[in-house]
Amino acid sequence: MTFSPNRVAVVTGGAQSIGRAVVDRLSKAGVDIVIADIQLEKAQASAREVTAASGRRAIGLGVDVSSTKAAGEMIEAALAQMGRIDILVNNAGTTRDNLIMRMDEADWDKVIDINLKGAWNCSKAVIRAMMKARYGRIVNMASVSGLAGQAGQTNYSASKAGLIGFTKALAREVASRGITVNAVAPGFIPTPLTDVLPAELKEGLTKMIPVGRMGTTDEIAYAVEFLAADEAAYITGHVLSVDGGMVMM
């Protein structure tokens, strides 16, 4: 996988977990990085670490992706400081799991606003610059929960299913301008979002995975790198499941 010189990527939720793994892979591949995270200090610290490790330009910006205004300001700041944006990875996400009988409206709204509206906000903010450049790679972080559903996750599953539909619709809109839009659907990956799950639930989920183990954040980052690379120009509107065979469709 190769990247033309001076490519710039914005990774939301890029200061931790899967987002940080994506940042590390892209920077090592020669891409300059904007780490956009709700935790500004952590984003800035991560940017310093990335530059020290890879020698690439990296900056950290604070953003609440659920805010249209904040997302727009983040993209404006990234363009002003980096000069261009070639790759957008919509990775920022959250969970508020509960059975529907016990789920608060606020928990539904929060997950939809961050996971789905957040991707719309950031994509809308960056798309004009990509269309002007006649080049772009947008990679959305979906989930197997968006493909198959998961009990106790009506909000999360709906947000990720919506993100898959968003991916396909946007891919059709911008394909003629040299912009691809794809999604990665991780399976069961150890992250802070899954750490809170009961041990018996984790064991049960692992038994559902044909390869017999959980995945790693780097395996997800590899899939993102593939879809973001120059060679992936003929792949768009695709959902790449990285789940050890957990959901086969």
Say whether pLDDT at 158 is over 90: yes
Q: Give the 3-state secondary structure of residue 111.
A: helix
Find the angle CA(99)-CA(194)-CA(93) to the nearest 5 degrees.
Answer: 80
SS3 content of the chain, % helix, strand, coil (to 5): 50, 15, 30
168-178: pLDDT as tens digits: 999 999 999 99
Q: What whole-number percentage of the chain has pLDDT above 90?
A: 88
Write down the pLDDT at residue 205: 79
Instruction: Please state, rounded to an integer, the average pLDDT across all residues of the chain.
Output: 95
- The residues, ordered by sequence, that sit 6+ positions from 216 with a Cβ below 8 Å of its Cβ are 189, 190
**Is position 222 annotated as part of the catalytic site?**
no
- Which among 84, 46, 48, 16 has a CA at the least distance from the CA of 221? 16
Say whether pLDDT at 110 is over 70: yes
Across the range 5-26, mean pLDDT stands at 97
What are the beta bridge partners of residue 137?
87, 180
Output 199 or 188, whichever has higher pLDDT. 188
Structure tokens at 77: 């700041």
Write down the pLDDT at residue 194: 72
On whether the CB atoms of residues 15 and 42 are closer than 8 A, the answer is yes
CA 191 to chain centre: 14
Structure tokens at 233: 């120009």
**Cα–Cα distance measured from residue 118 to residue 89, given in angstroms and rounded to the nearest whole number:** 11
Write down the pLDDT at residue 90: 98
195-220: pLDDT as tens digits: 767 777 778 878 889 999 999 999 99
Q: Are strands 58-62 and 32-37 parallel, antiparallel or unpaired?
A: parallel
H or E stretch covering 209:
none
Write down the pLDDT at residue 208: 85
When mean pLDDT is compared across 61-65, 69-73, 156-160, 196-200, the lowest value belongs to 196-200
Write down the pLDDT at residue 231: 97
Write down the pLDDT at residue 1: 82
The label of the residue with tokens 């790759």 reads: 87
On whether the CB atoms of residues 192 and 17 are closer than 8 A, the answer is yes
What are the distances in angstroms from CA 47 to CA 8, 11, 21, 58, 111? 13, 11, 13, 5, 27
Across the range 24-43, mean pLDDT stands at 98
Say whether pLDDT at 34 is over 70: yes
Write down the pLDDT at residue 193: 66
Across the range 175-183, mean pLDDT stands at 98
Say whether pLDDT at 53 is over 80: yes
Write down the pLDDT at residue 32: 98
Q: What is the full DSSP assignment across 85-100?
A: --EEEE-------B-T
Write down the pLDDT at residue 116: 98
On whether the CB atoms of residues 182 and 139 are closer than 8 A, the answer is yes
- Which one of the listed residues 135, 156, 222, 234 is annotated catalytic? 156
Structure tokens at 218: 């780097």
